[in-house]
Amino acid sequence: MNAGVVYGIDLGTTYSCVARVNRSGDPEVVPLSGGATTLPSVVLFVGPDDYITGEPARRLARARADDVCALVKRRMGDGDWRFVTCGRAWSAPAVSSLILRALVGDAAFAGAESIRDVVITVPAYFGDEERRATVLAGQYAGLSVVDVINEPTAAALSYGFARFNSDASVAGRTAQEEVALVYDLGGGTFDVTVVELADRRVSVVAVDGDHQLGGADWDEKIALHLSRQFLDAYPDAEDPLDDSEAAQALLLTAERAKRELSDRAETTVGVEHDGHALTVPFSRNDLERLTSGLLERTVTLARSVLAAARTRGVTQLDRVLLVGGSSRMPAVARRLAAELGVPVELRDPDLAVAKGAALYGEKKAIERLVLADLVSRGQILDGAQPDAAAPEDLAAACRRLAAAFGLTAERVRRTVEVQVVNVVSRGFGVLALDRFGERSAVFLVHRNDRLPVAVRRSFGTVRDDQDVVTVHVVEQGGGVESTRIDDVKIIAQADITGIPPGFPAGTPIEITFRMGFDGILEVTALHEGLADQPLTVRVETSAALSQADVARERDAVARLRRREG
Ligand code: AMP
């Protein structure tokens, strides 16, 4: 496809990557200048108007610690956080936009056509605010963010889940059901997700993980082992782990050894410190023995996410898909195969997320063209989804598009037919008085509820003749729902005003929560006395930036100049 390519971007915590679908229909990473496939997600501010990104910024991270912003993804959605440097303060979307700008600029420099329309990936556990912050980052970078997609879903698509870009299914037959466990072990985080294809929809069923667990923990275990060996050999020498530079060097040595042991069974490691040098033989068996506890922790989390999926009625498991550099350790696939008894697949673990986003981007591009075709023929209304069309009209539109772009009609039909949907990543509710008269959270929508959601619940006024009711919409703060007011985030607040007198305390207020596939929450509150005037709030999150801030930041980002490192 050439018309309106929608690129896929993996905006990662440590690395970012951009991909597209090529003419043969396969996703491929767009090389960056210098031939790299990924860009370190690091920004170095060198003055009020200049910055450097990527590898040169990462290299200077230690020397210019105060001016280097890394791991900004962890700050997305935190509206109060700012990176303060060179007399300016940057929000997380602003810093992220510089990474995106560098990524698309580099890709264009390396020969790709200019990139405008993109799909950006987000962790499945990202809430509404983090997703909005991600879209904002794209907008600051001058991109049109067609959609965001959950990382495990994108990874699954790139592994051929749901045969998203294949001709494999027979026309007219319902897509088969399929369930995958996506096991994503990176450098510093672990995410494990159950993804399901059912009823022509790909959705995340359950999410778990540990954001303090990753390849760096394996490195630490190895470094500790090496320092013990060193001290056994030289009992009077200083412990290399007691010296920050030596410890850093030992960790790098450990990481190198770990990577080598993914390809062979044995290696040797040199440790030099305090005037002594030791060569230690180190085998894959040693590595696996030292780190079995870490691997078991990931297996426990995998079991727990499968248990969560079972409570949602998803009992089948067809395959395990490995993502993240650390999943290259052979012990990972072996242990999971033994535990789960299903095929475990490892392919492009670092690039799978970006490639899957590109496949989803292609779907969006095709869908857009099919929709435009159907609308232009008056077969659906503007704004409707393809399934609103009569099946024969949809089939004809797919055939026309296929002919125009040299694709098979089956592929176009399948691409349009299979939908990617989300579950709710956090609970949402309102504040109400509990039976002790304390304000507490009442959740109407719960984590892992399937989108779209529509829930109604009745609350009562607290006073006779109450003329104003304030509705506070809240989002679950931590990993579990807690009714405590300190544990939730108020994301919107609005008043029902002008209630006429004469209504006693306890008069019902009907609250309805609706959340669409886009994750946007619409809250309606209706008081009996104002039956024809419901209060409607579309959630603009309070912790997000105000519109004025957004405009100011967008301008500030636009004025910045990128320097080569
Ligand atoms: P990267 O994918 O390079 O960001 O690395 C993420 C994590 O994966 C780091 O902890 C790396 O040490 C680890 N990693 C990358 N490649 C391998 C490999 N071949 N074997 C084991 N771990 C790896």
At residue 173 the predicted structure's pLDDT band, cuts being 50, 70 and 90, is: very low
Segments forming the whole domain that contains residue 265: 215-292
| pLDDT above 70 (res 241) | yes
Q: How far is the CA of 246 from the centre of ligand 1 (A)?
A: 21
The domain boundary, picked from 242, 265, 292, lies at 292
- Give me the phi and psi of 120, to 5 degrees please: -115, 140
- Find the mean pLDDT for residues 427-443: 90
Question: Is residue 117 one of the residues assigned to a domain?
Answer: no
pLDDT in tens, 458-492: 999 999 999 999 999 998 887 678 999 999 988 88
Q: How far is the CA of 327 from the centre of ligand 1 (A)?
A: 8
% of the chain surpassing 90 pLDDT: 63
Q: How far is the CA of 311 from the centre of ligand 1 (A)?
A: 33
Question: Is residue 60 one of the residues assigned to a domain?
Answer: no
Q: Which atom of ligand 1 is nearest to the CA of 14?
A: 4
pLDDT at 170: 41
Question: Is residue 479 one of the residues assigned to a domain?
Answer: yes
Report DSSP letters for 414-483, one per residue: HHHHSEEE-B-SS-EEEEEE-TTS-EEEEEEE-TTPBSSEEEEEEEE-SSTT---EEEEEEEE-SSS---
Residues with CB under 6 A from ligand 1: 14-15, 186-187, 214-216, 255, 258-259, 262, 325-326, 328-329, 350
Closest residue by CA, ligand 1 atom 19: 259
Q: Please state the domain count of the chain.
A: 2
Least confident of 88-92, 99-103, 239-243, 534-538: 534-538
Rounded CA-CA distance 290/367 in Å is: 50
The domain boundary, picked from 245, 263, 292, lies at 292
pLDDT at 548: 65
The domain boundary, picked from 233, 257, 292, lies at 292
- For residue 520, give the CATH number of its domain: 2.60.34.10
For residue 463, give the nearest of 441, 488, 433 by alpha carbon.
433
Rounded CA-CA distance 13/325 in Å is: 13
Closest residue by CA, ligand 1 atom 5: 325
Question: Is residue 323 one of the residues assigned to a domain?
Answer: no
> Could you tell which of 258, 263, 288 is best to mutate to test the pocket of ligand 1, judged by most ligand atoms within 8 Å of the CB?
258
Question: Is residue 259 one of the residues assigned to a domain?
Answer: yes
Question: Is residue 285 one of the residues assigned to a domain?
Answer: yes
Q: How far is the CA of 258 from the centre of ligand 1 (A)?
A: 9
Question: Is residue 80 one of the residues assigned to a domain?
Answer: no
Q: What is the model's pTM?
A: 0.82
- For residue 272, give the CATH number of its domain: 3.90.640.10
Question: Is residue 343 one of the residues assigned to a domain?
Answer: no
Rounded CA-CA distance 302/182 in Å is: 9
pLDDT at 163: 77
Q: How far is the CA of 187 from the centre of ligand 1 (A)?
A: 6
Closest residue by CA, ligand 1 atom 23: 326
